Chains A and B, each alone.
Chain A
């Protein structure tokens, strides 16, 4: 008896159709694998280079190897060798071997300071001999953000100490400033005393003149006047005493200041040296910091692009709620005509 399979024309050549479908699918997968292989350089001839690093921090298998910013290969192995050092083997496409000459150096660096790490191979002398397969090349570890921070750390610590030193009430700077204050106050008082004394001395000199004028006519009054003059001189001497005492105090202060000044100057020299060090470190780091900011911005832009791409890709876009463009307000066919009234 004929089954449905025999009667229905759709079952005709079913095995052939299924076979063709299967072959097309397999061919598709093969093409895909081939494309991925080409993308990942699976089918290109390789040329290996080695380098030895002090430690393997930041180096991993599969890490890209770049030459003048172009990806030319990958890190194939990372292994621990004698002396706890790390031997890194890289596989570089054969077509780039003409650039790999004696004098090339490998270094681990990053796409900016926060980007993906990669092995950068510096271009050697074009006149030097070509490297052979499996050659050992020198390794140089480039300073990264961590190194920059580590470099800046001592300088920052010193700045902190300097600020403490300046703010210390018992410290040389504060004490010196206090002494200067006392000195200036003393000088002010001294100035007023000297003015007063000069004024008194002026009066005394006038009186002496008057005495000399009268010396011929009156001896006694002269004697009286002479006594008077002595009295005035005594008075003047008495008045000068505190001035002298103040001068003594001032000279003592100046002495103290002179003693502390050399050490203060030395400390200020040290402060200036530290500030210079910090500013030069910051100056050196400024372009890198700018680069970090640029890279961060670029990373954010890239992230946005990726999200946008994913959102517009099938089937993700089917899973996302449809965003209606608020173009037209609804027609809304509601009207009061839809109301039934008592008289209707």
Chain B
């Protein structure tokens, strides 16, 4: 791949009931090796993937919520959360993992990766993508 494309991953399902959330995260991490312009959107029940305080010990399965914190290391730092989906679930950004990245252009200052956007704003962002993958 020579030219850089805009890739967006839409995360639309809750984390442990189905395998979609983890599969999406794996694809994002693998895809990061191709150095494309990657962004993530969390929509609908996908919001639940980012909830703080997940603990799967009693389920006996892997808690992959800490892995979202690694996204900054993989240069994935545009993480959009749809406001309408947050509101519908009675959540605010304070309920979500505080995801950050280090901005190489500003002496590695730590910045928030999560941007809460309205459906109308997100629609525009999606429309500008070259590739949209829904999970």
Partners in one complex: no
Q: Which residues of A contact B (CB under 8 A)?
A: none
Q: Which residues of B contact A (CB under 8 A)?
A: none
